[in-house]
Amino acid sequence: MSIYVNGSESEIAPGTTVAALLDALDAPARGVAVAVDAEVIPRGEWETFAVPDDSRVEVLIAVQGG
């Protein structure tokens, strides 16, 4: 199966941690929120939370400006 990130099928393997997923996406260190299957994953759990197979991950990045 697959993991979907922001609506698109990704190359991320099931079981990858949220932290590793964000590294693979080159996400910034600050201003990021992550939800897996519509459940927000607290930043303190990113290093240990393994993304299950067939999950839908939403990565939201805050953008400054008007």
**What is the spatial distance between Cα 40 and Cα 14, in angstroms, rounded to a whole number?**
18
Q: How far is it, in rounded angstroms, from Cα 1 to Cα 24?
A: 19
pTM of the full predicted structure? 0.92
Spatial distance between the Cα atoms of 56 and 65, rounded to a whole number of angstroms: 28
- The per-residue pLDDT for 66 is 64
- Domains along the sequence of the chain with CATH: 4-61 (3.10.20.30)
Q: pLDDT tens digits, the chain, 66 residues: what are they?
A: 789 999 999 999 999 999 999 999 999 999 999 999 999 999 999 999 999 999 999 999 998 886
